Amino acid sequence: MITDKKNFLKWLRGAAPYIREHSGKTFVIQIDGDLVASDHFQGFVHDIALLNTLGIRVVVVFGVRAQVEKLLDERGIQSVYHHNLRVTDKAALECFKEAVGSVRFEIEAKLSMGLPNSPMAHSDITVSSGNFVTARPMGVIDGTDMQFTGSLRKVDADAIRSRLDNGDVVLLSPLATSVTGEVFNLSALSVATQTAIELGADKLILSFNYDGINGVDGEALHQMTDSEAETLLQTAGDVDIAPWVQLAGAVQACKASVQRVHLIDDRDDSSLLIELFTRDGIGTLISHSRFDAVRRAGHDDIAGIMELIEPLVAQGRLVERSIEQLESDIDDFTVLDRDGAVIACVATHVNAGGNIAEMACMVVHPDYQNQGKGQLLYQQVENALKKQGVSKVFLLTTQANHWFIEQGFVEAKVDDLPLARQDLYNYQRNSKVLLKNLD
Ligand SMILES: CC(C)(COP(=O)(O)OP(=O)(O)OC[C@H]1O[C@@H](n2cnc3c(N)ncnc32)[C@H](O)[C@@H]1OP(=O)(O)O)[C@@H](O)C(=O)NCCC(=O)NCCS
């Protein structure tokens, strides 16, 4: 019991920066009909209510494919597809209207719950839905009349913003009207993507019942830039099906203005909150710039660096550094930053002549070791040193000499160190001396 409570506290403390960070931000969340029909849909809606309670401006776009398929099946209607798009005839459109109406009410009802002993107690959420999206007919494509299948013409971002300003959760469906008053069936993904772009949303979250995105060798990919996602899309066979169609939507949104797009597997009922409130998330994050950034350290990083090195100092693997020392040396540090947290660091002290540097304090957080992060950090620091005109790097290490040898260092003697450093060499520690010529 105590362990549970302690775990909860640990989780809450870990989530605190994200709670602060997300407040006041705009998230567009797309959910599909399968999730709506699943057992854990209620939990998912509760999580959306929680986001609203935390001051996040939430737009939910829902799909109804599963519900429409069921209705069509019951009525013995077969849909015709053209280029992987349903040709929405009058009968199919009726099924869409029915499904949209019923799913909308279901979501509204769940968001309106206020039972005292449920997660919705006192939530008091207002849901806004309406004609925020305008459609136009898709027309005739390669000789096929797409009938009531439409494309998105306009999103009334100002109207949505004013509802969000009011604290409402905005609910959008895949049905929209044209200026002639006809109703068209759009793809929920395009509604979500375009709405996120028009709103300049901070996040677009695309939930779907799929394991996630894998690389060409089958490895799970948890983050990539939009350019990397584009390259991966070129290896995909059919870009009109999951997960590629979602990945293409993510690239489009990132290239436009959306800062981060998250693809999450909605078969896991905790995926939304884990993705949003933990550093590593659970799905695939696509962003315009890299999630892990190598950058020079600043005074705000001192606490993070201390946290990284303290356990190693305690084990005798690193020489102790006081906060005062760190403060005066902070300009020599480079850090690997993941979403604002320092997950690796290294210091490089360049001599007065500017040609020799000592590397020290190279640490990767245990959670991130053996993922190439040390090498990434080392490589960038080495490149920066070369640019500065440094021709030789040395370092002292007790337990990572083989790792540095793999980065091109060779073992040397204490006599090979600059004279001033030889005087400071601690024979009791008996560290290995390693050198690398950068010429
Ligand atoms: C040494 C360290 C910086 C490497 O960073 P990393 O991100 O884990 O390493 P990478 O992912 O780039 O490289 C992983 C490879 O290095 C190897 N490796 C990791 N630590 C090693 C070590 N101490 N000695 C030898 N090889 C090591 C791994 O086995 C792996 O090899 P493989 O790919 O053949 O399986 C990191 O493990 C660390 O912080 N260690 C503790 C602190 C320390 O000793 N720092 C050096 C003091 S100056």
| 219 and 341 part of one domain | no
| 349 and 274 part of one domain | no
| 39 and 177 part of one domain | yes
Residue 235 has, within 13 A of its CA and on its CB side, a CA count of 10
Q: Six-digit token pair at 403?
A: 């790792």
Question: Beta partners for 437?
Answer: 392
Condensed to tens digits (0 to 9), the pLDDT of residues 256-312 reads: 989 899 999 988 888 999 999 988 888 999 998 777 889 999 999 999 999 999 999
Domain final residue, candidates 251, 270, 290: 290
| 145 and 234 part of one domain | yes
| 226 and 332 part of one domain | no
| 248 and 349 part of one domain | no
Nearest-CA residue for ligand 1 atom 27 is 403
For the Cβ of 379 lying below 6 angstroms from any atom of ligand 1, the answer is: no
H-run or E-run covering 342: strand 341-350
Number of domains forming the structure of the chain = 2
Residue from 362, 403, 406 whose mutation best tests the ligand 1 pocket (most atoms within 8 A of CB): 403
Name residue, tokens 């401006």: 57
Which residues constitute the domain of residue 265? 2-290
Position 380, amino acid: Q
Condensed to tens digits (0 to 9), the pLDDT of residues 327-361 reads: 999 999 999 998 888 999 999 999 999 999 999 99
Of 273, 252, 251, give the one whose Cα is nearest residue 264: 273
CATH code, domain carrying 433: 3.40.630.30
| 304 and 244 part of one domain | no
Domain final residue, candidates 256, 290, 324: 290
pLDDT-derived band at 392 (thresholds 50, 70, 90) equals very high
Q: How far is the CA of 345 from the centre of ligand 1 (A)?
A: 13
Domain final residue, candidates 290, 307, 330: 290
| 299 and 174 part of one domain | no
**Strands of 73-173, DSSP E:** 80-82, 85-87, 127-128, 133-137, 140-141, 144-145, 150-155, 169-172
Q: Which of 67-71, 210-214, 282-286 has the lowest mean pLDDT?
A: 210-214
147 contacts 172 by C-beta, under 8 angstroms: no
| 170 and 69 part of one domain | yes
For the Cβ of 373 lying below 6 angstroms from any atom of ligand 1, the answer is: yes
Nearest-CA residue for ligand 1 atom 18 is 403
Name residue, tokens 């947290």: 341
| 304 and 219 part of one domain | no
CATH code, domain carrying 285: 3.40.1160.10
For the Cβ of 400 lying below 6 angstroms from any atom of ligand 1, the answer is: yes
197 contacts 154 by C-beta, under 8 angstroms: no
The average confidence (pLDDT) of the chain is 92
For the Cβ of 364 lying below 6 angstroms from any atom of ligand 1, the answer is: yes
Residue from 369, 378, 382, 432 whose mutation best tests the ligand 1 pocket (most atoms within 8 A of CB): 369
Position 279, amino acid: R
| 157 and 241 part of one domain | yes
**Rounded to whole angstroms, how far apart are CA atoms 339 and 225?**
14
Instruction: Kindly tell me if the per-residue pLDDT of 239 is higher than 90.
Output: no
What is the reported pLDDT for 201? Answer: 96
| 349 and 246 part of one domain | no
